[in-house]
Amino acid sequence: MTEIPMPDAFWDFLVNKGLHNKTEPISAVPLTGGISSDIWRVDLPSGPICVKRALPKLKVAAEWFAPIERNTYEVRWMQTANNAVPGAAPTIIAHDTASGMFAMPFLDPNTYPIWKAALLDGHTSAAFAADVGKILATIHMATMDNPETAQHFATDKIFHAIRLEPYLEATARAHPDIASALLDLVAVTANNKKALVHGDVSPKNILMGPSGPVFLDAECAWYGDPAFDLAFCLNHFLLKCVHRPNSSEAYLNDFSSMSRSYMSIITDPVRAQSIETHAARLLPGLFLARVDGKSPVDYITQEEDKVRVRITAKALLSDPVLNLEGIAVAWKREWKR
């Protein structure tokens, strides 16, 4: 018997995939925290698993829709990532394309805490940040300029619907004075198809596993611009400085550690410079988007802080800095005032 009703679609998935025979007692509880999927922990006789179903409408205040077939590409990303770096993502137990559902092991938060929670509490780790950068770059390099991978992740429309539009285009509509710079970032990002991109490399989607980082929630998986992944994650260190000003030095140290580790894996200097330059250009657009886009961060709530983010972002969008250390210096200068 379940403790609360689990939707019929989840029961059907478990039965159809041979994970439940309708006679064994199981319990199921919904897991919270995500905006784009329904996720249930299901305790089977063989052990706990997670079952995830993509939602057509995301759970945010703004109107935000996305195709449920993104679930298929999430599964493919996890499989590809594990081929490049074993253990970088959970293994896939079962998957159903039509329903947009898949099952994976349940990773106990006592053993696999969420990185976001640690960072919000001021618990930084330059070594862990470096590991994240190293794994991310290794996945990018393993799929770089790979036509077969590009064919398997031809998800331009999905990536636009759940990344470029809600972040950069929505922010451009909110700030007409800087819209041209933001829309230029959209165009450059959309057309720079070089490697397999996770699309949501955020501390909320990375677990601090006993053997290293474990990446979750690759619903935005796309064959595209690797700089987007790098910038998307680095952005969170900058935003955490607003949340906990007294920990700014530690957050910026994590920023530098991750960026250096990532760049050390990109062995071609021309390619490395291209990725770093575009990541640096993307960052101000992304931290502005996390204040005024469709998915604002939940820990920057004071209007005076939002104003300072806007001022810093607009200055860097108008006069771009082309390296990551320069972004960190500009951010530190603004938030030291």
Average pLDDT over every residue of 283-301: 95
Q: What is the pLDDT of residue 57?
A: 66
For the ranges 16-20, 186-190, 255-259, the lowest mean pLDDT is seen at: 16-20
Per-residue pLDDT tens over the stretch 237-286: 999 999 999 999 999 999 999 999 999 999 999 999 999 999 999 999 99
CATH topology of domain 1-106: Phosphorylase Kinase; domain 1 (3.30.200)
3-state secondary structure of 26: coil
Q: Which two tokens stand for residue 331?
A: 């951010």
3-state class percentages of the chain: helix first, strand second, coil last, to nearest 5: 55, 15, 30
**Domain chopping of the chain, boundaries:** 1-106, 108-337
| Domain pair 1-106 / 108-337, same fold | no
Sheet hosting strand 101-105, strand order edge to edge: 27-31, 37-44, 47-54, 101-105, 94-96
The pTM of the full predicted model, rounded to 2 decimals, is 0.93
Burial label for 277, CB within 10 Å (0-12, 13-18, 19+), is: middle
Q: What is the pLDDT of residue 305?
A: 95
- The confidence band for 22, taking pLDDT boundaries of 50, 70 and 90, is confident
- The confidence band for 291, taking pLDDT boundaries of 50, 70 and 90, is very high
Q: What is the pLDDT of residue 106?
A: 97
**Arithmetic mean of pLDDT over the chain:** 93
Flag whether pLDDT at 328 surpasses 60.
yes
Q: What is the pLDDT of residue 64?
A: 61
Q: What is the pLDDT of residue 55?
A: 78
Flag whether pLDDT at 59 surpasses 60.
no
Q: Which two tokens stand for residue 120?
A: 């919000």
Q: What is the pLDDT of residue 2?
A: 42
> CATH number of 108-337: 3.30.750.24, 3.30.365.10, 3.90.1200.10, 3.30.530.20?
3.90.1200.10
Q: What is the pLDDT of residue 184?
A: 98
Percent of residues, the chain, with pLDDT higher than 70: 94
Q: What is the pLDDT of residue 66?
A: 63
- The confidence band for 98, taking pLDDT boundaries of 50, 70 and 90, is confident
The angle formed by the CA atoms of residues 20, 73 and 293, to the nearest 5 degrees, is: 115
Flag whether pLDDT at 177 surpasses 90.
yes
What gap in Å lies between CA 119 and CA 254, rounded to an integer?
10
Flag whether pLDDT at 114 surpasses 50.
yes
Higher pLDDT, 137 or 57: 137
